[in-house]
């Protein structure tokens, strides 16, 4: 008798067509529900049987979560807007170009056609121990296998670890922080708005998740405020291959420059900590200066203060230092 080995565990699939219906489903099923956006991260979890939800809520039919609209002088982007739409949108490219460039660095064109902005910022870490089903802290266990003396940890963090050393994988997250984006989170009970840098959390707050989202929450929209429209931007992502790969480290920056002086700066890095990291000390250091090589070099050194590399990722210290240096040097 043949043994049938299906690729995914069985679950109930719900496909709501309104935001209210989606929120009601999440409120009803709580931790037993899994939210499906573009599906690119979800299908990996489900096929590998590491995640076994009883209910999957597919947001593909919720039109309210799609599209890019003018809002309060800035832009409002629905969480289900594809990365390709973000890349190609005329005003995103013209006024908030750092986000368009970051979105264009995600994986491949085929993946960007399916993947969404909301999915990109809420995806889980790519730590191979965790994603292979090892019982680590993040999975509810009592150790971090990536931090062990003989572990393979080339892609893990050098800053901000607390038991878990996995990094945030999102390419668009540092760009949203650099733009001062607001993240709109809704549940059936309430609506909350977070600054982008506060939307992401580290293991010291909750080791089992990477964002503020509770089981009955949805990220519905991202608002880009007018303040950073048409600023001077810089984005750079370093990865092993020119496409597909996740970042080893990345930087996104926005500068307000007047008369050759940096009046205001926002700088964020990713791939080096369990969350995208805003470099507020570096921002204060460069504000009021004319930039230049000396300031940029000092900014790079300040960015890596306190870094503690693991066995195989000490290369991330000079990498992050140089990314920040290049970002600041580009401002004027």
Q: Is residue 145 part of a domain?
A: no
User: Residue 2 — very low, low, confident or very high, per pLDDT cuts 50/70/90?
Assistant: very low
Tens of pLDDT along 265-323?
Answer: 999 999 999 999 999 999 999 999 999 999 999 999 999 999 999 999 999 999 999 99
For the chain, what percent of residues have pLDDT higher than 70? 98
**CA end-to-end span of the chain, whole Å?**
72
Which band of pLDDT confidence, cut at 50, 70 and 90, is reported for residue 162? very high
Helix (H, G, I), strand (E, B) or coil at 308: coil
- Point out the domain boundary residue: 46, 64, 82: 64
Tell me: do 103 and 24 sit in the same domain: no
Residue keyed to tokens 């800053």? 159
Q: Same structural domain for residues 10 and 103?
A: no
pLDDT at 5 (0 to 100): 52
Contacts of 298 (CB under 8 A, 6+ apart): 285
- The dihedral over CA atoms of 84, 239, 123, 157, expressed in degrees to the nearest 10, equals -150
User: How far apart, in whole angstroms, are the C-alpha atoms of residue 276 and residue 278?
Assistant: 7
Domain annotation covers residue 161: no
153 exposure class (CB count in 10 Å sphere: 0-12, 13-18, 19+): buried
Task: Dump the DSSP string for 268-306.
Answer: EEESSSSS-EE-HHHHHHHTTS--HHHHHHHHHHHHTTT
**C-alpha distances in angstroms, 174 versus 28, 122, 131, 158, 236?**
33, 13, 23, 17, 10
Instruction: List the domain range (segments joined by +) for residue 204.
Output: 66-122+167-329
Whole-model pTM?
Answer: 0.96
| 112 in the same domain as 15 | no
Q: What angle in degrees, to the nearest 10, is found between the helix axes of 316-329 and 292-303? A: 140
The CATH number assigned to the domain holding 209 equals 3.30.465.10
Q: In terms of Cα–Cα distance, which of 24, 14, 8 is closest to 58? A: 14
- Quote the CA–CA distance of 174 and 180 in Å, as a whole number: 10
pLDDT, tens only, 228-261: 999 999 999 999 998 889 999 999 999 999 999 9
Q: Average pLDDT for residues 45-62, to the nearest whole number?
A: 94
Q: How far apart are CA 274 and CA 168, in angstroms?
A: 5
Task: Please report the pLDDT score of residue 6 as a whole number.
Answer: 58
Q: Are residues 57 and 84 in the same domain?
A: no
Residue 290 and residue 175 share a domain: yes
CA distance 152 to 132: 13
Q: How far apart are CA 107 and CA 264, in angstroms?
A: 31
Residue 127 belongs to a domain? no
pLDDT at 47 over 90: no
């Amino acid at each position: 008798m043949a043994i049938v080995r299906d690729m995914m565990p069985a679950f109930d699939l719900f496909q709501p067509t309104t935001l209210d219906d989606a929120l009601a489903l999440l409120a009803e099923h709580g931790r037993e529900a899994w939210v499906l956006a573009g599906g690119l991260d979800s299908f990996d979890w489900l096929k590998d049987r590491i995640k076994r939800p009883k209910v999957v809520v597919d947001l593909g039919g919720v039109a309210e979560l799609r599209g890019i609209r003018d809002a309060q002088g800035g832009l409002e982007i629905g969480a289900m807007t594809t990365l390709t739409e973000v890349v190609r949108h005329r005003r995103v490219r013209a006024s908030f170009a750092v986000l368009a460039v970051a979105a264009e660095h995600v994986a491949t064109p085929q993946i960007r056609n399916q993947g969404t902005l909301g999915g990109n910022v809420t995806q889980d870490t790519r730590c191979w121990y965790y994603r292979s089903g090892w019982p680590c802290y993040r999975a509810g266990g009592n150790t971090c296998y990536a931090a062990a003396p003989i572990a393979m940890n080339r892609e893990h963090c050098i800053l901000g670890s607390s038991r878990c050393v996995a990094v945030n994988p999102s390419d668009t997250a540092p760009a949203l922080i650099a733009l001062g984006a607001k993240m709109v989170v809704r549940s059936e009970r309430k609506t909350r708005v977070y600054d982008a840098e506060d939307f992401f959390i580290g293991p010291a707050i909750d080791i089992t998740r990477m964002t503020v989202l509770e089981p009955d929450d949805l990220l519905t929209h991202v608002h880009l405020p007018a303040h950073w429209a048409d600023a001077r931007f810089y984005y750079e992502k370093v990865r092993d291959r020119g496409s597909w790969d996740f970042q080893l480290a990345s930087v996104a920056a926005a500068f307000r420059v007047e008369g050759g002086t940096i009046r205001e700066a926002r700088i964020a890095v990713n791939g080096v900590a369990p969350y995208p990291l805003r470099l507020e000390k570096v921002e204060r250091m460069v504000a009021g200066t004319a930039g230049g090589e000396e300031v940029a070099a000092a900014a790079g050194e300040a960015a890596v203060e306190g870094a503690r590399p693991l066995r195989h990722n000490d290369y991330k210290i000079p990498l992050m230092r140089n990314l920040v240096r290049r970002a600041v040097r580009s401002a004027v």
